[in-house]
Chains A and B, each alone.
Chain A
Amino acid sequence: MDAATQPAIRVEGLRKTYGRGAAAVEALKGVDMTVRPGEVVGLIGPSGSGKSTLLKCLGAVIEPTAGSITLGGETIYDDGWKTRDLRALRRDRIGFIFQAPYLIPFLDAIDNVALLPMLAGVSNAHARERAREMLAALDVAHRGAAQVSELSGGEQQRVSIARALANQPPIILADEPTAPLDSQRALTVVTILNRLARDYRTAIIVVTHDEKIIPTFRRIYHIRDGRTVEERGEGRPIPLEAAGAR
């Protein structure tokens, strides 16, 4: 399989058990999932179904109990992490978008985005150049010098998306990115994610409860009782005017 047809991420039989013995809780009971480059998939499920646990496992924040995770053809977990430097793995190959923007309040918009490349060893000048490109791609380049407190909620979310893209990771994990937004802004964010996925060939997994955006996914993974079920989504197109995005 060449790089173009290689899944961005493939998860097979992923299990996660918290605790031991009688107190053990099996949060994931064998999750299977495949996301191709440039694809945006939804991950939905009721509270306590294991969405956050799956996201933390995929984000190399917690260690699964069993199974395998393959990222761009490279197995990163197979009954144990294949790399010891999980920090570098998260920094270079996984992007994160959170419920709230969680921008660093003492950095301006540019440096919030440039921080990631800087952490990867890119020079300050190049990192800022890349950050400007990302902010431009999200239509907030003109707000680069603004402090976080000076940005609107929508602008903050765009900057946080730019940050997730800054190191151009093959996969972005978005944890309820539209939760605090109204319909208009939520659809805008989804539109942006779809465009970025297409432009940068990035796979995006969107964890959501948001009824407004669920119909926009072409593929959806339902997670229930620690297991995933793949469904075909409606893939309803979003009118750009309604979404307010280019």
Chain B
Amino acid sequence: MINLASRDIAHGLGRYLLTAVGLGLLIGVTLSMAGIYRGMVDDARALLESWQADIWVVQQHTLGPFAESSTLHDDAYRALLGLPGVAEAGNVTFLTMQVKRGESDVRVMISGFESGRPGEPRLITAGRPVTRAHYEAIADEKTGFSVGERIRIRRNEYTVVGLTRRMVSSAGDPMVFIPLKDAQQAQFLKDNDAIWNDRNRLAANPALNRPGIPGLIEAVEENQFSNRNVNAVLVRVKPGWDRRLVADAIKRWKRLQAYTGEEMEEILVGKMIATAARQIFVFLVILALVSAAIVALIIYTMTLAKLKEIAVLKLIGTRNTTIAGMVLQEALGLGLAGFIIGKLLATLWGPHFPRYVVLLTEDAVRGFVATMTICAIASILGIRAALRIDPGEAIGG
């Protein structure tokens, strides 16, 4: 028996392929959306893995440092080092800002760290670690900086000495790592006018500028214009120690919030990315509906264009199942061609997305099954129209 669907497709191949390309674009966007979500999760995991922190210690009653703001004194780590099971502890700060790269701005997340302590980027793909106490930086490749380039952060310039890969914040901003002291200064640095104004205000305050107490005004200024805060302390536990128990001890004795690495991943993926995931899911549903509507419309109009031919086919004895099969196969063929085009496009344009896009095989399989299911459902309208055609329509003009 002749395959009517393949012959019909071959007959109108141009229009069919054009429709498949349209559908493919939609499927490509759908796969890319799923890939963006996967990329966000993957970025979050890669970020946490690169720090290799067993416990994240943050301000009490907060989900910091990423989901909520968190402020700790930078000497808190000393107390943590005294707790049983704690092997290493290091302060970190996080600050999202625009930095200059030549004439253009790059949005980055600045992370302050202490050399040799948790928080220092370990996976350096080019260059070397930071060895000097000030004005050296390690930048993620996504910033566009290369080793030897200079980054201007606030009033200071930093030399890029090393590069990392896949180190981005949950918002997709690439990381730039600088020494902790520099980061603390950058976080709270005031402009010269503000400093001048603040100094004058202090000097004009008789309570703080007493002639009989020399050095008071200087001490107050020093306290106001310096920053001793960090956003989190990263802790590594000694081998054989249960990180959960150590985290509980930190919470109990130090009145701080402590999350294990798994809990921090849950905060990043489950809370911070959750909204984005819901948004992506809504987009996926909308795209699925649009795809279904397009396939249904195309298959329906393709069927309507063949009304007389279908009437003749029925009149000369073609089974309804053969006719329904023809419409269904055309819809599934459209889905298959659209999926192949969509997968190809998603693979091609994936690397050009600003965010990391992860195209998983399992997502592709799910997408394929969903596409074919949508096409099968969408063909119902066309099948219904075909089956309702009266064979008698071929007779009597």
Does A55 sit within 8 A of B, measured CB to CB?
yes
Greatest chain B CB density within 10 A among A51, A61, A62, A114 is at: A61
The answer to whether A105 touches B317, judged by C-beta atoms less than 8 angstroms apart, is: no
Given A90-B315, A106-B8, A115-B2, residue A176 in contact with residue B397 (CB < 8 A) = yes
A128-143 interface bits toward B, Cβ cutoff 8 Å, 1 = contact, 0 = none: 0000000000000000
Complex alpha-carbon distance, A162 and B32, angstroms: 53
The answer to whether A107 touches B395, judged by C-beta atoms less than 8 angstroms apart, is: no
Complex alpha-carbon distance, A119 and B8, angstroms: 17
| A-B pairs under 8 A by CB, number | 84
The answer to whether B395 touches A55, judged by C-beta atoms less than 8 angstroms apart, is: yes
The answer to whether B394 touches A102, judged by C-beta atoms less than 8 angstroms apart, is: yes
The answer to whether B395 touches A61, judged by C-beta atoms less than 8 angstroms apart, is: yes
The answer to whether A87 touches B317, judged by C-beta atoms less than 8 angstroms apart, is: yes
Q: Which of B314-333 contact A (CB under 8 A)?
A: 314-319, 322
Kindly list chain A residues whose C-beta atoms are within 8 Å of the C-beta of B314. 87
Does B367 sit within 8 A of A, measured CB to CB?
no
Say how far A70's CB is from chain B's closest CB, in angstroms.
21
Does A39 sit within 8 A of B, measured CB to CB?
no
The stretch from B38-46, B259-267, B305-313 touching chain A is: B305-313
The stretch from A5-13, A28-36, A91-99 touching chain B is: A91-99
From the candidates A98, A111, A124, name the one contacting B312 in the complex (CB within 8 A). A98
The answer to whether B395 touches A104, judged by C-beta atoms less than 8 angstroms apart, is: no
Kindly list chain A residues whose C-beta atoms are within 8 Å of the C-beta of B319. 87, 119
Does B4 sit within 8 A of A, measured CB to CB?
yes
The answer to whether A56 touches B317, judged by C-beta atoms less than 8 angstroms apart, is: no
B147-182 interface bits toward A, Cβ cutoff 8 Å, 1 = contact, 0 = none: 000000000000000000000000000000000000
Interface size of B by CB at 8 A reads: 26
Q: Which of B344-397 contact A (CB under 8 A)?
A: 390-392, 394-397
Complex alpha-carbon distance, A216 and B354, angstroms: 80
The answer to whether B392 touches A56, judged by C-beta atoms less than 8 angstroms apart, is: yes
Does A120 sit within 8 A of B, measured CB to CB?
yes
Given A104-B309, A115-B2, residue A96 in contact with residue B396 (CB < 8 A) = no
Given A56-B395, A96-B395, residue A107 in contact with residue B317 (CB < 8 A) = no
Q: Contact residue range for chain A?
A: 20 to 34
Greatest chain B CB density within 10 A among A91, A147, A173 is at: A91
Say how far B391's CB is from chain A's closest CB, in angstroms.
5
The answer to whether A116 touches B316, judged by C-beta atoms less than 8 angstroms apart, is: yes
The answer to whether A119 touches B317, judged by C-beta atoms less than 8 angstroms apart, is: yes
- Closest residue on chain A to residue B320 by CB atoms: A87
Complex alpha-carbon distance, A154 and B317, angstroms: 25
Does A88 sit within 8 A of B, measured CB to CB?
yes
Say how far B299's CB is from chain A's closest CB, in angstroms.
15
The answer to whether A88 touches B7, judged by C-beta atoms less than 8 angstroms apart, is: no
Complex alpha-carbon distance, A173 and B316, angstroms: 12
Say how far A207's CB is from chain B's closest CB, in angstroms.
9
The answer to whether A90 touches B308, judged by C-beta atoms less than 8 angstroms apart, is: no
- Closest residue on chain B to residue A147 by CB atoms: B11
Q: Which of B224-246 contact A (CB under 8 A)?
A: none
The answer to whether B2 touches A107, judged by C-beta atoms less than 8 angstroms apart, is: yes
Given A87-B317, A90-B317, residue A102 in contact with residue B395 (CB < 8 A) = no
Does A118 sit within 8 A of B, measured CB to CB?
yes
Does B1 sit within 8 A of A, measured CB to CB?
yes
6 A-B pairs with CB atoms under 8 Å apart are A61-B391, A87-B314, A96-B394, A102-B309, A102-B394, A104-B4
Q: A59-B392, A96-B316, A119-B1 are in contact. List 9 more A-B contacts (CB 8 A).
A: A90-B316, A102-B312, A105-B309, A106-B10, A107-B7, A116-B317, A119-B317, A173-B395, A176-B397
